[in-house]
């Protein structure tokens, strides 16, 4: 993993704000996922950080990809331009799932020639697919418990399990093959029982579908939510993997293909941010630092992802509770009101945040005229 000393050298060389991606760490995370979930094919959730360099590293490691928009699809597709058309089409089927249950008509018309695997969760989407993407293969997304997830997703997507077989049969009647089921237990899920409940719900839907004559399903997509180790409160991935493996082996025979959509787990620990102190003030007795990155940029996960990223100083010394603010004129641009930092830091000094690889730089804007952080890749 990249060290503070390395980060400091990179900041001196490239300037700040800086977003550093360690590809050795990405490869380690992928290897860990495969080691403890050997039956599960990882489809990296590109939205977590859609940098082409990350996609290439994971592709070489053996990953498949979960995309939710045509720009994401194109980022992945660029990696396979060397393949003959027929081989490329099979690669797309094996390596990409378009896992956005609600798709724009324009996206469907562009996707259809590739005969993609896509998710759906309602009757209207079947009608849309029938008209604009008749060559698609389908996976029905189920609504499952999201209790304890940092970001809850079940209120926006997912068919009620009681309606699932009706939706499977409706898609079948429209001429589609429903390849299987998918679900998502919520992002950064530390309540591992969510997976247990979701896998059992999916098994019941498989059973109900067979009892009503539908026997074509051969895959289960267990979604994302695999938590990154942001702090010691997050239980080991090995514990979660053991629970998942137990339920999969108990409920799903080996001929059922198992997919997953890890995003945060793959890259959270592979990204670091380095910022420079541009201003300093004492407000209500508290030292406050103003830095050149914030919540409209690399620290966007504070707003959108309900995540807290700690800032650290490159030099030792006594610390006190300090405030840290981003560069824009918006009062929302607050990185932290309670960060343990030295109070004698000077203008021009650097701070850094580890474990900020997921859902951070990916959401950066140009708000207030401030550009996104420069990206530096190491160990590619």
Instruction: Please name every residue paired with 43 in a beta bridge, in sequence order, or none if there are none.
Output: 64
CB 299 within 8 A of CB 293: yes
DSSP 275-304: EEEEEEEEETTEEEEEES--TTTGGGHHHH
**Strand locations in 144-256 (E):** 149-151, 178-182, 187-189, 219-221
Residues 14 and 29 in one domain: no
Q: pLDDT exceeding 70 applies to what percent of the chain?
A: 94
As beta bridge partners, residue 74 has none
260 and 274, same domain (yes or no): no
What is the rounded CA–CA span in Å between residue 349 and residue 131?
Answer: 58
Clarify whether residues 160 and 281 are in a common domain: no
What does the pLDDT average to over 138-160? Answer: 79
The CA-to-CA distance between both ends of the chain, in Å, stands at 13
Single residue among 245, 267, 289 that ends a domain in this structure: 267
Mean pLDDT of the chain: 93
Residue 288 has pLDDT above 80, yes or no: yes
Write the Ramachandran bin of 342: left for phi over 0, alpha for psi from -120 to 50, otherwise beta. Answer: beta
Give the model's confidence band at 149: pLDDT under 50 very low, under 70 low, under 90 confident, else very high. low
**149-151 and 18-22: which strand pairing?**
unpaired
| Last residue in a domain, options 209, 232, 267 | 267
Residue 232 confidence class, pLDDT cut points 50, 70, 90: confident
Give the pLDDT score at 148: 58
For residue range 298-326, list pLDDT tens digits in order.
999 999 888 899 999 999 989 999 999 99
Looking at the structure, tell me whether residues 262 and 299 fall in a common domain.
no
Distance CA 371, CA 210 (A): 54
323 contacts 337 by C-beta, under 8 angstroms? yes
Residues 129 and 195 in one domain: yes
- Burial-class residue 232 by CB neighbours within 10 Å (0-12, 13-18, 19+): exposed
pLDDT (mean) for 85-99: 70
pLDDT at residue 95, rounded to an integer: 85
Q: How many Å apart are CA 178 and CA 169, to the nearest integer?
A: 9
Phi first, then psi, for residue 374 (nearest 5°) are: -70, 140
Per the structure, the count of domains in the chain is 2
Judge if 80 and 182 occupy the same domain.
Answer: yes
Mark whether 27 and 134 lie in a shared domain. Answer: yes
Q: Tell me which of 226, 248, 267 is where a domain ends.
A: 267
Residues 254 and 289 grouped into a single domain: no
SS3 366: coil
Catalytic residue check, 288: no
Q: Which domain holds residue 258?
A: 23-267
Quickly state the pLDDT bin for 150 (edges 50, 70, 90). Answer: low
108-147 confidence digits (pLDDT tens) = 999 999 888 999 999 999 999 999 999 999 999 999 877 6
Provide the residue count of the chain: 380
Q: What is the pLDDT of residue 249?
A: 97
- Residues 48, 9 share a domain: no
**Distance between CA atoms of residues 95 and 200, nearest Å:** 26
């Amino acid at each position: 993993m990249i060290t503070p000393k390395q980060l400091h050298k990179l900041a001196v060389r490239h300037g700040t704000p800086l977003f550093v991606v360690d590809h050795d760490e990405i490869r380690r995370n992928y290897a860990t996922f495969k080691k403890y979930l050997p039956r599960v094919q990882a489809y990296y959730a590109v939205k977590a950080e859609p940098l082409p360099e990350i996609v290439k590293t994971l592709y070489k490691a053996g990953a498949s990809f979960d995309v939710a928009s045509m720009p994401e699809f194109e980022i992945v597709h660029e990696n396979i331009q060397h393949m003959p058309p027929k081989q490329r089409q099979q690669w797309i089927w094996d390596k990409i799932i378009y896992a956005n249950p609600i798709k724009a008509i324009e996206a469907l018309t562009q996707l259809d020639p590739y005969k993609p695997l896509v998710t759906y969760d309602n009757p209207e989407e079947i009608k849309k697919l029938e008209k604009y993407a008749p060559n698609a293969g389908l996976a029905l997304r189920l609504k499952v418990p999201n209790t304890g997830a940092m970001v809850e997703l079940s209120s926006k997507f997912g068919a009620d399990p009681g309606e699932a077989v009706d939706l499977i049969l409706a898609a079948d009647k429209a001429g589609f093959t429903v390849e299987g089921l998918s679900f998502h237990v919520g992002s950064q899920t530390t309540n591992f029982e969510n997976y247990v409940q979701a896998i059992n719900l999916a098994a019941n839907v498989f059973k109900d579908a067979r009892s009503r004559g539908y026997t074509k399903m051969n895959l289960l997509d267990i979604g994302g939510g695999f938590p990154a180790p942001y702090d010691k409160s997050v239980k080991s991935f090995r514990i979660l993997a053991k629970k998942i493996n137990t339920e999969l082996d108990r409920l799903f025979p080996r001929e059922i293909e198992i997919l997953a959509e890890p995003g945060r787990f793959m890259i959270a620990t592979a990204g670091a941010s380095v910022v420079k102190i541009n201003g300093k003030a004492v407000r209500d007795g508290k030292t406050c630092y103003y830095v050149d990155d914030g919540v409209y940029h690399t620290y966007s996960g504070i707003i959108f992802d309900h995540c807290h990223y700690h800032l650290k100083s490159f030099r030792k010394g006594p610390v006190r509770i300090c405030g840290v603010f981003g560069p824009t004129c918006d009062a929302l641009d607050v990185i932290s009101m309670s960060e343990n930092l030295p109070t004698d830091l000077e203008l021009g000094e650097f701070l850094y945040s580890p474990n900020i690889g997921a859902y951070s730089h990916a959401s950066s804007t140009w708000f207030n005229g401030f550009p996104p952080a420069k990206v530096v890749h190491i160990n590619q």
